[in-house]
């Protein structure tokens, strides 16, 4: 029996090609980028993903992700 090894997946993040470990979720991606989850919105393959789904949403190879930060001010 062969042990399954975890590899990397290539994605496009805000227009830039990046590599993350296989199995990365949207929540772990946001945290890896040192972003505050409460201050960002995430679009995965042109669809907004609700924050309560980030933990269960795994980023697949070839995914296109846009992360937008909310900025306060006046």
- Parse the chain into domains and list their residue ranges: 9-69
pLDDT tens for each residue of 3-22: 455 699 999 999 999 999 99
Instruction: Record the pTM.
Output: 0.86
pLDDT level of residue 74 (50, 70, 90 thresholds) = low
Distance between CA atoms of residues 40 and 61, nearest Å: 22
| CATH annotation of 9-69 | 3.10.20.30
pLDDT per position as a tens digit, 24-64: 999 999 999 999 999 999 999 999 999 999 999 999 999 99
Residue 21: predicted pLDDT: 96
- Gap between the Cα atoms of 52 and 62, Å rounded: 23
């Amino acid at each position: 029996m062969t042990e399954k090894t975890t590899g990397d997946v290539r994605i496009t993040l805000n227009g830039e090609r990046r590599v993350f470990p296989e199995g990365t979720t949207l929540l772990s991606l946001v945290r890896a980028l040192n972003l505050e989850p409460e201050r960002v919105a995430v679009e995965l393959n042109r669809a907004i993903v609700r924050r309560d789904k980030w933990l269960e949403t795994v980023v697949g190879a070839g995914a296109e992700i846009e992360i937008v930060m909310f900025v306060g001010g006046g």
